[in-house]
Amino acid sequence: MGGRIWRWMAVWLAMCCVPALARDGVAPHRFWLGAAFEGDRGALTALAASGARVVRVYRESDVWVLDAAQQLGMRVIMGLWLAHPRHGFRLDDAAARGRQEDALRRFVERHRGHPALLAWAVGNEVETGVPDPRPVWREINRLAAIVKSLDARHPVLMVVADNSNEWLAPLADCCPDVDMLGLNLYGGSVFQLPDRLRALGIDKPVVVTELGPLGQWQAGTKPWGAPVELTSSQKADFFRDALAFLATQPQVRGAFPFLWGAKQEQTATWHGLLLADGSLTPMTDALASAWGRPVARAAPRVRGIGIAADDFTPGQEVSAGIDVVSPGGSPLTTEWVVRAEARDLRAGGDHEEAPPVVAVRVLQAGVRSVRFVAPARPGAYRLFMTVRDGQGKAATANLPFRVR
């Protein structure tokens, strides 16, 4: 009993060390403020400057973030990467499980005393692609117990994907050695979270370890199957509303927008909060405001986008436009790029290759409109729009179209 009391005190102390997210001047409970992160020191510095107090990293190769975060006054949820069955890892292979456990032990023993360490996150969506998640989750619980035996001062999370109520139901009683449940949530499901947790009987403290607007697997599609991506301004509105909502939920102890960095997943802009060159966006503006540091000069705001048709013939003229404003009054420029629709689509956020740029004959291009000649080869394409203000901020949108 004494050990369990100490573990829950560790969770409580970890929560109390990070300031709360205020809404209307009221902080209902302690709340971890930050983002899921993949990037370099410059991106981490920008994250801290935007008001984040905590950063979540995924794997041991990101251990450099501990020292960097300490210098920036941040804390770290340190990921302990576990091999996934869909990549060939076998839970019935005792030797493989032993090697993984040994590596985990060595890493925890080496870094458990780091002053920037806030919590451990054991695995990330390890259950993706398996018919029954319970054997995977039992193994994660076993490893979580080992982490806690080595380090009683920091809480331990497990991180799972939100597939369905039926999928999550075993979490009500499967993992007693896990202190906090990390859920990766996208789209409107975030607003249903408290009711779902009550219905499922899940009473552990919850951290939204990935928070994002509509994923490509949730979005509406064109007739040929291309998912329709939200504009950067629509994503910013989602983050504003979702963070304000989550901050009022006592069971939810933190939320980590995905992803402070750039990532090719369906498109190069679907999940990245930054552009590949580090440019800030309407999403980062929304996060800075939620984190208590509203920006003085906002990124360009997209009010609407459109294309003349969904289908074109080879060589036909294509016209498209974007309704965008510069809240700060800076002059805007727009980059118009056509790419083939992505084909290298993977599960669970695995690495994807970006589709190639398609050279097209441009007839006219301005800040708000473009005319070009459709590609000669039939197929699925996207027109990408990147609007820049010349001050390090950018807005993004894209439009799928087809040549037949």
Q: Which CATH class is domain 301-403?
A: mainly beta
Q: What is the pLDDT of residues 384-400, one digit of tens each?
A: 999 999 999 999 999 99
The fold for domain 2-290 equals TIM Barrel (3.20.20)
**For residue 26, what pLDDT is reported?**
30
Residue listed under structure tokens 């302990």: 80
Q: Which long-range contacts (CB under 8 A, 24 or more apart) does 89-92 make?
A: 91/135, 91/136, 91/139
**For residue 18, what pLDDT is reported?**
47
| Radius of gyration of the chain, Cα coordinates, nearest whole angstrom | 22
Q: Is the pLDDT of residue 15 over 90?
A: no
Confidence of residue 109 (pLDDT cuts 50, 70, 90): very high
**Burial status of residue 19 (CB atoms within 10 A of its CB: 0-12, 13-18, 19 or more):** middle
**For residue 117, what pLDDT is reported?**
98
* pLDDT > 90 in the chain, percent: 89
Q: pTM for this one?
A: 0.91
DSSP string computed for 161-200: E---HHHHGGGGTS-TT-SEEEEEEEGGGGGGHHHHHHHH
Q: Is the pLDDT of residue 79 over 80?
A: yes
**For residue 28, what pLDDT is reported?**
38
Q: Is the pLDDT of residue 308 over 50?
A: yes
Q: Is the pLDDT of residue 220 over 60?
A: yes
CATH 2.60.40.1930 positions along the chain are: 301-403
CATH 3.20.20.80 positions along the chain are: 2-290
Q: SS3 of 7, please?
A: helix
